[in-house]
């Protein structure tokens, strides 16, 4: 069978867009390059004792960085390559940053990302991921980027995806025409098309939630979790949203991060995590809502780092959970 590389696929798909000029294509390729560089470092993470701990100096005299900071820097560097990215906002940074202009370019796009989601898993050799979303800027390319360019809903994203650094490394993305996955072949250093037009099961027998917080959840969420247990649904929770959602994409089920007493508005970020992953999941036939029962993709962020509650996964499973919210939520008189 003929191997289709990520670059080849992206270029072929450029024709899906009317008036496409290759700018989005170039951006996706920049992200693919960053993913390969981050992958290389993630794979070396177990060698910190040999190569040097975070903050220390390695054998070459370079200071060893925390991997999430490293991933952040590499993404910014790679997104500066094509000159098609005007600015970025990252979970690792307080404010958005403008990307240095490449001569002759007037970039129309901005990129939001979580460079290394679930990074606390690195020390114990468990999967982590990168999540990204691409937005068309609202302001004219001739003026500086503004906050309004970033505060757009998931429905306005033109592309989104993730990279999972797992037993193998896979890049999954959508431009609104289905979802495709590319596995990194380390022998040739290329992402190769491995999962074409991914469609998730309409329901599933897995639920993914930090059940340690059970007593901190609202009553309707506790009733739903009881139901999952009654139905013998399997509980799977890695503590890395990308990994948990990746499994659900293929095996079906639901991922939940509800409000707790510690995080009354949820812990996960709308712009960097929930909106891009909702775009992917919806394109694969799934659903993503808040526990206030609003579609995640419709939410316009009020700030860059806004948190949101989330229930995401197979459409019938999310709808089943929604019925519990409806039935058991405390109704204030």
Closest separation in Å from C-beta 273 to ligand AHG: 7
Closest separation in Å from C-beta 240 to ligand AHG: 5
Euclidean distance between CA atoms 86 and 104, whole angstroms: 13
Which range binds ligand AHG by CB under 6 A, 2-10, 234-242, 295-303, 317-325?
234-242
Euclidean distance between CA atoms 243 and 167, whole angstroms: 11
- Other beta carbons within 10 Å of 149: 19
180 binds ligand AHG (CB under 6 A): no
Beta strands in 167-252 (DSSP E): 169-174, 179-185, 190-195, 206-208, 234-235
118 binds ligand AHG (CB under 6 A): yes
Which range binds ligand AHG by CB under 6 A, 156-164, 196-204, 235-243, 304-312?
235-243
Choose which of 33, 241, 274, 281 interacts with ligand AHG (CB under 6 A).
241
Closest separation in Å from C-beta 262 to ligand AHG: 8
H helix runs in 105-218, sequence order = 147-150
Instruction: Extract the tokens encoding 204.
Output: 């599933």
Let me know how many helices (H) and strands (E) the chain has, helices first: 9, 15
Contact letters for ligand AHG, residues 181-220 (x by CB under 6 A): -----------------------------x----------
Closest separation in Å from C-beta 117 to ligand AHG: 5
Is the Cα dihedral 238, 240, 241, 247 positive or negative?
negative
As beta bridge partners, residue 184 has: 191
Residue length of the chain: 333
Which range binds ligand AHG by CB under 6 A, 79-87, 116-124, 184-192, 296-304?
116-124
Euclidean distance between CA atoms 158 and 161, whole angstroms: 11
Choose which of 74, 137, 267, 287 interacts with ligand AHG (CB under 6 A).
267
Closest separation in Å from C-beta 110 to ligand AHG: 22
* Interface positions with ligand AHG (CB under 6 A): 117-120, 210, 239-241, 267
């Amino acid at each position: 069978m003929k191997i289709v590389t990520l670059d080849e696929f992206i270029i072929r798909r450029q024709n899906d867009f009317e008036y496409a000029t290759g700018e989005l294509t170039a951006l996706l390729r920049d992200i693919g390059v960053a993913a390969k560089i981050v992958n290389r470092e993630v794979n070396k993470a177990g060698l910190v004792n040999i190569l040097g701990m975070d903050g220390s100096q390695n054998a070459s005299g370079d200071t060893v960085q925390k991997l999430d900071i490293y991933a952040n820097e590499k993404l910014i560097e790679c997104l500066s390559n094509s000159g098609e990215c005007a600015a970025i906002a990252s979970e690792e940074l307080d404010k958005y940053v403008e990307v240095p202009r490449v001569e002759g370019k007037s970039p129309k796009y901005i990129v939001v990302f979580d460079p290394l989601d679930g990074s606390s898993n690195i020390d114990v050799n468990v999967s982590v991921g990168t999540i990204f979303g691409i937005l068309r800027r609202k302001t004219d390319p001739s003026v500086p980027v503004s906050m309004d360019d970033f505060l757009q809903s998931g429905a306005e994203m033109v592309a989104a995806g993730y990279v999972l650094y797992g037993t193998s490394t896979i890049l999954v993305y959508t431009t609104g025409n289905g979802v495709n996955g590319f596995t990194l072949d380390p022998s040739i250093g290329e992402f190769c098309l491995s999962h074409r037009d991914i469609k998730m099961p309409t329901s599933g027998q897995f639920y993914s939630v930090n059940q340690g917080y059970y007593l901190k959840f609202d009553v309707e969420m506790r009733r739903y979790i009881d139901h999952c247990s009654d139905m013998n649904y399997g509980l799977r929770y890695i503590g890395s949203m990308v990994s948990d959602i990746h499994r659900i994409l293929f095996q079906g089920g639901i991922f939940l991060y509800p409000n707790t007493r510690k995080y009354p508005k949820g812990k996960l970020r709308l712009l960097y995590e929930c909106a891009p992953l909702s775009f992917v999941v919806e394109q694969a036939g799934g659903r993503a809502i808040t526990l206030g029962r609003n579609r995640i993709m419709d939410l316009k962020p009020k700030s860059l780092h806004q948190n949101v509650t989330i229930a995401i996964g197979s459409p019938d499973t999310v709808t089943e959970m929604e019925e519990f919210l409806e039935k058991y939520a405390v109704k204030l008189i």
